[in-house]
């Protein structure tokens, strides 16, 4: 699908809308900008960002940092264009990055990273990094189908409370993909005194929660309002969702799974361009895959997830894009892994996963 000449995304927004946060309050498009920034792999030399002194965003515009910061992202070239715009923007260039943390634990299949943005002396946006393009990162998303409380979710709650103890005033919280789910979880489980300081929690195409987990999380205390946005062909954002009435559907310049990329989301002025309804891919995930997840036992869900990723691991690659790029070698390995599966597991994989792959094929909507 070609991109219309009139198409604008968050990069255009940053270039064209430079009013300082003191003049125009934070909006959901700003939230997606900060969520995208949380994917940047900050170098160890960016010392103030790892502590609470803070590093201005404009300091990231360094030629010797750009490749390492953006190399693991889905669109490194787009990420570089974004940081160039941010470094020049009166709205963003002096916002400081602080409290950055990143943790990887392969034993518990946890990847956790977050950073905070001091947008004003008394306002801070807490951003959680979403799913990266590693197979481990994808598996962690799907582990939510059978794990009631994931290590990254606990870390997200602790991070929000720790940030609240270091910065004054209002808090905003959000993330893209898994980052959006972590933000919602943190807001639902943090101390009530912290929760009352959170103005809005943003989830940009973040998975929801299974019915069991949602029942455990819901308490008597009021939670901050959740602003959820999903693209028309949402996959991750539709996982484990039982109620999509409050989610707003954003128009994307891409198709199928590629709509998950925040740089494909269309912006008009200071807000997104919205669609009237979900596409067939998102409807499939909602009606079929989620229905199966809800009726399956936790053990059956774990078997399903482990089966899928045992096949992906057979491709012998670390990054998901390499499975596609090196398909001449990865496809035969994965095909052999499918054939070696027990019959029941193989039938389950064919029935559910191949149907999803068909929905995600180019041209899906």
- Residue-wise pLDDT for 230-239, tens only, equals 988 766 666 6
The answer to whether residue 5 sits within a structural domain is no
Looking only at the bridges linking them, the beta strands covering 123-128 and 170-176 are: parallel
Q: How far apart are CA 260 and CA 218, in angstroms?
A: 28
The answer to whether residue 365 sits within a structural domain is no
Indicate whether 197 and 274 sit together in one domain: yes
The answer to whether residue 59 sits within a structural domain is yes
Indicate whether 306 and 259 sit together in one domain: no
263, burial (CB in 10 Å: exposed 0-12, middle 13-18, buried 19+) = buried
The answer to whether residue 66 sits within a structural domain is yes
The answer to whether residue 329 sits within a structural domain is yes
Q: How far apart are CA 286 and CA 241, in angstroms?
A: 7
Tens digit of each residue's pLDDT (9 = 90 or more) over 229-284: 998 876 666 666 655 447 899 999 987 777 889 999 999 999 999 998 775 555 55
pLDDT-derived band of residue 309, with 50, 70 and 90 as boundaries?
A: low
Q: What is the pTM of this model?
A: 0.82
* Mean pLDDT, the chain, whole residue set: 81
Q: How far apart are CA 324 and CA 88, in angstroms?
A: 36
- The Cβ-side half-sphere exposure at 17, using a 13 Å CA radius, reads 21
Q: 84, 65 in Cβ contact below 8 A?
A: no
Count: domains in the chain: 2
Indicate whether 303 and 256 sit together in one domain: no
In the numeric block, which tokens belong to residue 96?
Answer: 């400081």
Report the range of poorest mean pLDDT among 72-81, 120-129, 218-227, 293-302. 293-302
Measure Cα distances from 268 to 10, 24, 81, 82, 251 in Å. Answer: 10, 16, 19, 17, 11
| Nearest CA among 171, 72, 194, 178 for reference residue 131 | 178
Q: How many residues does the chain have?
A: 365
The pLDDT of residue 354: 55
The pLDDT of residue 161: 98
Q: Which long-range contacts (CB under 8 A, 24 or more apart) does 309-315 make?
A: 309/135, 309/138, 309/139, 309/142, 310/337, 310/341, 311/337, 311/338, 311/341, 311/349, 312/135, 312/138, 313/135
pLDDT-derived band of residue 128, with 50, 70 and 90 as boundaries?
A: very high
Percentage of residues in the chain with pLDDT exceeding 90? 48
Q: 112, 156 in Cβ contact below 8 A?
A: yes
pLDDT at 79 exceeding the cut of 70: yes
The pLDDT of residue 235: 67
Measure Cα distances from 149 to 154, 155, 241, 328 in Å. Answer: 7, 11, 16, 38
The pLDDT of residue 144: 62
Indicate whether 304 and 264 sit together in one domain: no
pLDDT at 165 exceeding the cut of 50: yes
Indicate whether 261 and 130 sit together in one domain: yes
Tens digit of each residue's pLDDT (9 = 90 or more) over 92-114: 999 999 999 998 776 656 688 99
The answer to whether residue 166 sits within a structural domain is yes
pLDDT at 360 exceeding the cut of 50: no
The pLDDT of residue 142: 66
Indicate whether 157 and 184 sit together in one domain: yes
In the numeric block, which tokens belong to residue 33?
Answer: 């900008």
71: CB partners within 8 A, 6+ apart: 41
pLDDT-derived band of residue 364, with 50, 70 and 90 as boundaries?
A: very low
Indicate whether 197 and 322 sit together in one domain: no
The answer to whether residue 70 sits within a structural domain is yes
Taking residues 339-349, report their average pLDDT: 68
The answer to whether residue 281 sits within a structural domain is yes
Q: Domain end: 237, 256, 286, which one?
A: 286
pLDDT-derived band of residue 152, with 50, 70 and 90 as boundaries?
A: confident
Indicate whether 150 and 179 sit together in one domain: yes
Angle of CA points 118, 132, 17, to nearest 5° = 40
The pLDDT of residue 135: 64
Sheet strands (E) in 190-266: 198-204, 226-231, 248-250
pLDDT-derived band of residue 74, with 50, 70 and 90 as boundaries?
A: confident
Indicate whether 171 and 317 sit together in one domain: no
Tens digit of each residue's pLDDT (9 = 90 or more) over 20-53: 999 999 999 999 999 999 999 999 999 999 999 9
Q: Domain end: 286, 305, 334, which one?
A: 286
Indicate whether 151 and 231 sit together in one domain: yes
Indicate whether 45 and 127 sit together in one domain: yes
Indicate whether 313 and 220 sit together in one domain: no
Range of the domain at 315: 296-360
Reduced to 3 states (helix: H, G, I; strand: E, B; else coil), residue 103 is strand
Q: Domain end: 286, 305, 331, which one?
A: 286
The pLDDT of residue 316: 59
* 216 or 184, higher pLDDT: 184
């Amino acid at each position: 699908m070609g991109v219309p000449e009139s198409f604008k995304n968050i990069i255009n927004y940053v270039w064209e809308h430079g009013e300082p946060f003191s003049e125009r309050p934070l909006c959901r498009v700003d939230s997606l900008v900060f969520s995208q920034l949380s994917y940047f792999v900050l170098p160890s030399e960016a010392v103030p960002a790892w502590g609470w002194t803070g590093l201005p965003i404009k300091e990231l515009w360094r030629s010797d940092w750009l490749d390492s910061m953006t190399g693991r992202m889905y669109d490194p070239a787009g990420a570089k264009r974004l940081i160039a715009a941010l470094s020049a923007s009166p709205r963003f260039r002096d916002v400081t990055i602080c409290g950055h943390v990143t943790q990887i634990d392969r034993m518990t299949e946890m990847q956790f990273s977050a950073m905070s943005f001091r947008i004003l002396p008394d306002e801070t946006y807490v951003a959680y990094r979403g799913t990266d393009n590693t197979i481990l990162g994808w598996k962690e998303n799907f582990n939510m189908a059978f794990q009631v409380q994931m290590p990254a979710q606990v870390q997200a709650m602790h991070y929000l409370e720790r940030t609240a103890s270091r910065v004054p005033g209002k808090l905003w919280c959000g993330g893209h993909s898994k980052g959006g789910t972590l933000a919602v979880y943190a807001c639902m489980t943090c101390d009530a005194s912290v929760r009352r300081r959170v103005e809005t929690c943003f989830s940009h195409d973040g998975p929801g929660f299974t019915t069991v987990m949602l029942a455990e999380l819901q308490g008597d205390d009021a939670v901050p309002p959740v602003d959820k946005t999903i693209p028309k062909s949402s996959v991750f954002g539709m996982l484990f969702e039982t109620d999509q009435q409050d989610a707003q559907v954003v128009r994307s310049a891409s198709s199928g799974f590629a709509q998950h990329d925040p740089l494909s989301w269309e912006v008009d002025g200071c807000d997104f361009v919205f669609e009237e309804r979900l596409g067939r891919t998102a409807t499939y995930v909602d009606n079929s895959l989620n229905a199966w997840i809800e009726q399956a036992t936790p053990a059956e869900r774990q078997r399903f997830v482990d089966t899928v990723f045992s096949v992906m691991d057979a491709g012998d690659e670390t990054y998901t894009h390499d499975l596609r790029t090196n398909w001449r070698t990865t496809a035969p390995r994965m095909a052999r892994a499918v054939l070696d599966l027990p019959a029941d597991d193989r039938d389950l994989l064919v029935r559910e996963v191949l149907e999803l792959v068909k929905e995600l094929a180019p041209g899906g909507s």
